[in-house]
Structure 1
Amino acid sequence: MVGGGSTYTPELVDGFARLRDTLPVDELVLVDPAADRLELVGGLARRILARQGHPGRVVTTADLDAGADGADAVLLQLRVGGQAARHQDETWPLECGCVGQETTGAGGLAKALRTVPVVLDIAERVRRAAPDAWIIDFTNPVGIVTRALLRAGHRAVGLCNVAIGLQRRFAGLLGVAPADVHLDHVGLNHLTWETAVRLGGPEGEDVLPRLLAEHGDAVAADLRLPRALFDRLGAVPSYYLRYYYAHDEVVREQRTRPSRASEVAALEAELLELYADPALDEKPGLLAGRGGAYYSEAAVDLAAALLGGGGSPYQVVNTRNDGTLPFLPDDAVVEVQAAVGRRGVAPLPVPALDPLFAGLTAAVSAYEDLALDAALRGGRDRVLRALLAHPLVGQYAYAERLADLLVAHNTEHLAWA
């Protein structure tokens, strides 16, 4: 696990411990250059496994090459620049009246520019140390990072928790087991819609109309979007669509409250104090505020399926388009249901997408292509092109100003700046 010193790691370790029958783990290697955090997190990880009687061994190291040696799977959950860089991503776009967010808009572009070169270097080293390993990317922006990995020929799959979170929520509302809920989940990472909710599998009955009729108000409240919008869409958008469908409202909110990064930084300080307690041998309740609900279940399920030991046969992943959405290039990365197994992932067929969804998907996919070009080749002009293409920016004057702000706030992380 690269980024193993993250305060979120105990959530994943807890999942490995609880779901050992799905994914037997002999050794978990936590790789992180932050030695102080790594030892605190590693100590708690060992205690969590011991409490639950798990025989696996936890190793901590700052040496990526040694840590990846012989690995079956490598999980990426790093954050270049830490919460300080995230705070910048969430604040300087507001100067232009644009949403400040770490995975989309101008802030998401900044994160992509910082992250892609680092992830590609890690992946090349993993390829030498463990040529058959699967790379599972949690690192945001997942779509752009996964696109970079796949273009470079790596065995990589991107993973996000939006789908599994909605699956769990819908199952609770419908009074069924989560495994019985199959989502027709379609779009790009952090730009998706649930166009059907099926019971029993990909061919099951679509109960989305009933879900909206009986529980539409609750779902809308969860996602902080008007109930009437869901009825007009005939689908459930992910909560990230709020940045598009209620952009100005979100900007007004962001200007009147602390950034999410500042909240997370304070939470992480509290968590690290808890992790230092040698008596703590389970994930603390406070960790729920860190975000990333159900990542552990999603990660175990995906790794188990890829490694051939179990896991659900159908899972929502980020992978190559290859004709799944015919209006996008084959090498675009889409987030859809796929058959997952030892041979990899194969997206399930997707019905023709409503132009209301297809148009925005195509625009953001084009932005992602330009963002990846800027991340790989650098240059302010490429940054400007990506910002002009993004539906949350677009206007030339804003793009010019945001390009300057992005470079100024990220000089230490951009080799070309």
Structure 2
Amino acid sequence: MKLTVVGGGSTYTPELIDGFARLRDTLPVEELVLVDPAAERLELVGGLARRIFARQGHPGRITTTRDLDAGVDGADAVLLQLRVGGQAARQQDETWPLECGCVGQETTGAGGLAKALRTVPVVLDIAERVRRTNPDAWIIDFTNPVGIVTRALLQAGHKAVGLCNVAIGFQRKFARLLGVSPADVHLDHVGLNHLTWETGVRLGGPEGEDVLSKLLSEHGEAIAADLRLPRPVLERLGVVPSYYLRYFYAHDEVVRELGTKPSRAAEVAAMEAELLRMYGDPALDEKPELLAKRGGAFYSEAAVDLAAGLLGGGGSPYQVVNTLNRGTLPFLPDDAVIEVQAAVGPKGPTPLPVPTVDPLFAGLMANVTAYEDLALTAALHGGRERVFKALLAHPLVGQYAYAEGLTDRLIAHNREHLAWA
């Protein structure tokens, strides 16, 4: 089995490598190729990756290359984890929206749209090259904004599934609070990427006992603290929202906070510099503890499960993925990309039935789905007017004066990445 990681020079990659090494019985990788245009980073990450495999006795071969076509040739699955523009672009995404009084964040709102505009054309080019080289390969997208990027891939006819680590993070957290194995926790997880709610927490599988009310009753304070939302809000909602919902439920509060502290991008950039320094230590043969603060917790377990399911090697029977709606949520178009539990096999994911969704959540999902449709159109065809309409449709913007100012700033900060600007 050959897997290729595009964006293999990312500081995330040792997390992924650690999972491949530990879970080799679930996903027996024979060859792992790390592809990245940044030669220096690739050398550091590749060296640590080989040492992690060697320490854990993994027999697989790890190679590195800057040549995308060579890297994806013969791959059974290609994982995408790239950041067009790097941390510098992220820094901009998180700052210029604040000038208009809107949330500055890299995956939602105006910053998320900027990232989508930069990313979709690049990912589609990569996917076309994968299809020319190996049309049977699965593409697993971890590149944000996952929902929009995955929709672009599927709309272009690629064998693609989107992946996010939010659900597996909740699964692990709830298992710890309940004192059970993560495998015993099944989430009733519904929404769009980075716009999801846990509407049930079941023990043993999709038909198991729902213990969500017990969790909220006994551990509501801890859960609320992690989400940085008041506990009464969770009790009134009766669900556990993802932490990205704070941008919607406490928008003005978040904007004030973001204006008074260094950006997350600045923190991550400093962390990445230290991680790369550590990766260069020839004595380091395991992922460092600092990596846990970088983000992407449990990404490796989720990626191994998904790849194993798609390639017929096993994995968890049900997994939270980003895939086409196709009637799963009747209030959304069939071609919308939703994030739900699905049965995953070699033919791809099949979403499990979802109970009726509360209008409080369904309405916001419909609104953001409309925005994502406009965002994808802007990413594919360009044009100031398309960018403006996407911003006006986003519930974190929604006013024409804001949308005008944000459009000008988005284009000004991203000209080098926008062929049409």
| TM, length-normalised to structure 2 | 0.99
The match for 1:299 among 303, 307, 314 is 303
Rounded to whole Å, the distance in 2 between the matches of 1:67 and 1:296 is 20
Rounded to whole Å, the distance in 1 between the matches of 2:36 and 2:219 is 43
Map 1:62-77 to 2 at 5 A. Answer: 62-77=66-81
Partner of 1:24 in structure 2?
Answer: 28
Q: Secondary structure at the match of 2:6?
A: coil
Partner of 2:281 in structure 1?
Answer: 277
Map 1:1-400 to 2 at 5 A. Answer: 1-400=5-404
CA apart distance, 1:129? 1.2
Q: Secondary structure at the match of 1:329?
A: coil
Using the aligned pairs only, state the percent identity. Answer: 85
Q: Secondary structure at the match of 1:318?
A: strand
Gaps of 5+ in 2: none
Gaps of 5+ in 1: none
Q: Secondary structure at the match of 2:367?
A: helix
Rounded to whole Å, the distance in 1 between the matches of 2:388 and 2:347 is 39
The number of residues matched between the two structures is 417
Q: Secondary structure at the match of 1:11?
A: helix
CA apart distance, 1:128? 1.1
Rounded to whole Å, the distance in 2 between the matches of 1:397 and 1:30 is 44
| TM, length-normalised to structure 1 | 1.00
Q: CA-atom RMSD, angstroms?
A: 0.4
Rounded to whole Å, the distance in 2 between the matches of 1:382 and 1:102 is 20
Partner deviation per Cα, 1:35-81 (whole Å, 9 max, x = no partner): 00000000000000000000010110000000000000000000000
Partner deviation per Cα, 1:285-341 (whole Å, 9 max, x = no partner): 111111010000000000001100110110000000000110111000000000101
Rounded to whole Å, the distance in 1 between the matches of 2:171 and 2:89 is 32
Q: Secondary structure at the match of 2:290?
A: helix
CA apart distance, 1:386? 0.2
CA apart distance, 1:210? 0.7
Partner deviation per Cα, 1:227-286 (whole Å, 9 max, x = no partner): 001111111000000000010111111001111111101001101111111111111111
The match for 1:412 among 407, 411, 416 is 416
Runs of 4+ residues deviating >6 angstroms: none
